[in-house]
A and B are shown apart, each in its own frame.
Chain A
Amino acid sequence: MVWKLITYTELYTPALPYKSTYAIGLVENEEGIRRVVRIDRKFFGKLKIGMVGEVIESWSIFGNIPLFTPSGIEVNEKKVALVTGGARGIGAAISLELAKSGYLIAVADISRDTEAENTIKAISDAGSKALFVEMDVSKYESVEEGIKKIVSEFGRIDVLVNNAGITKDSYLQRISPEMWDAVIKVNLTGAYNCSRAVTPYMIKSGGGVIINVSSIVGLVGNIGQANYAASKSGLIGLTYTLAKELAPYGIRVVAIAPGFVKTRMALAVPTPILRDYLRRIPIPRLIEPEEVAKLVRHIVENEALNGIVIPIDLGTTISSPKA
Chain B
Amino acid sequence: MGSELEVGVVSAYSLKYELRTSKEVWDMIKEVTEGVLGRVDKGINKEEIDLVIVSNFSDRFGGLLHTAPLVISHLGLNNTKGFRVENACVSGGTALYLAWNFLRSGLARNALIVGFEKMSYLPSSTEVNEVLMLAGHPDEVLIGSPFVSLYALIATAYMNKYGVKEEDLALVAVKNHENGLRNPLAAMQKKISVEDVMKSPYISWPLKLYDSSLITDGAAALILSSEPRKYTDTPVMVKSVALHHDHPGVFQREDLTALRAVKKAGEEAYRSADVTLRDIDVMEVHDAFTIAEVIVYEMLGLAERGKGADLVRNGVTTFDGEIPVNPSGGLKSKGHPIGATGVGMVAEIYWQLRGEAGQRQVPDAEIGLVENHGGTGATSVVAIFSR
Contacts and interface: CB of A to CB of B under 8 A. Distances in A.
B190 to A, nearest CB: 21
Nearest to B160: A49
Contacts of A37: 143
B204 interface: yes
Interface in A37-82: 37-38, 49, 62-63, 65-66
B140 to A, nearest CB: 5
B153 A9 contact: yes
B205 A13 contact: no
A230 B218 CA distance: 46
A38 B256 contact: no
B284 to A, nearest CB: 27
A63 B141 CA distance: 11
A10 interface: yes
B204 A10 contact: yes
Contact of A38 (B144, B153, B201): B144
Contacts of A8: 153, 156
Say what secondary structure dominates the interface of chain B: helix
Interface residues of B, number: 34
A277 interface: no
Contacts of A49: 156-157, 160
B129 interface: yes
Interface in B196-216: 201-207
Interface in B107-155: 126-127, 129-130, 133, 137, 139-140, 142-146, 148-149, 152-155
Given A7-B157, A12-B205, 19 more contacts: A6-B256, A7-B153, A7-B156, A9-B204, A10-B204, A11-B148, A12-B201, A13-B126, A13-B148, A15-B149, A16-B129, A22-B144, A26-B153, A26-B250, A36-B139, A38-B144, A49-B156, A49-B157, A62-B142
20 contacts: A10-B205, A11-B146, A11-B148, A11-B149, A11-B203, A13-B203, A14-B126, A15-B126, A16-B126, A20-B144, A22-B144, A24-B204, A26-B157, A34-B251, A35-B251, A36-B140, A36-B249, A49-B157, A65-B142, A65-B143
Interface of B: 126-127, 129-130, 133, 137, 139-140, 142-146, 148-149, 152-157, 160, 201-207, 249-252, 256
Interface of A: 6-18, 20, 22, 24-26, 34-38, 49, 62-63, 65-66
